[in-house]
Structure 1
């Protein structure tokens, strides 16, 4: 699988509009053939970067998705709304491939170290 890693530069004063934009994609992207891994807003650090991650079986699958997206009424409306509201200042796409054995691993829980003190 490949992942389309989208980096957004957003207006930090309009982050709720970006959140709404992302929520709308939650219905549109899967319908058009993408595996939505998620959208992410800044929490600490830089307040103007947000990300979207969408998985595809191949670049050909991505191209087919883009073609479907261009004809999807809700997708077109979401793009138009974002342009009208101007909360996305810049957008960059990079295609990545996950390293097998490193994706979706759960955290390991550990017990507190033994201090030697009596209970």
Structure 2
């Protein structure tokens, strides 16, 4: 399993637009074989930072999902929400291997 962690710098004045953007992407990840763990929005502290975490069974599965970028109308519409609103100022994407509670308890001894 591979988890994509996206660290966003967002416009605090455009949080509603960011939430609409986030909801669209949560649906798209699920429709294309991933598991979205949610967006984590500002509450206390920094008001311009948000995170998203979503997983795919493998890097190959993630790459299949990425093939829709710039091509699939639903992907284009979701990006349009971000671009036209200006809610995202910058983002960085990194990949991690999760250690989930079920794995820590030993219910799944296999490591990806």
The two structures share one fold, judged by TM-score above 0.5: yes
Equivalent positions of 1:22-41 (< 5 A) are: 22-41=22-41
How far, CA to CA, are the matches of 2:102 and 2:43 in structure 1? Answer: 24
Aligned 8 A contact 1:32 1:69 in 2 = no
TM-score after normalising by structure 2: 0.83
Matched residue, 1:10: 10
Q: Where in structure 2 are there 5+ consecutive unaligned residues? A: 106-112
**Structure of higher CA gyration radius:** 1
**Aligned alpha-carbon RMSD (Å):** 2.1
Aligned 8 A contact 1:32 1:68 in 2 = no
Matched residue, 1:117: none
Matched residue, 2:78: 78
How far, CA to CA, are the matches of 2:33 and 2:18 in structure 1? Answer: 22
Q: Where in structure 1 are there 5+ consecutive unaligned residues? A: 106-119
Matched residue, 2:110: none
Deviations 1:13-51 (A, max 9, x none): 111110111111232111122211111111111000001
Q: Which runs of 4+ in 1 moved over 2 A?
A: 68-72, 99-105
TM-score after normalising by structure 1: 0.78
How far, CA to CA, are the matches of 1:93 and 1:19 in structure 2? Answer: 18
Aligned 8 A contact 2:20 2:81 in 1 = no
Distance 1:92 1:102, change over 3 A: farther
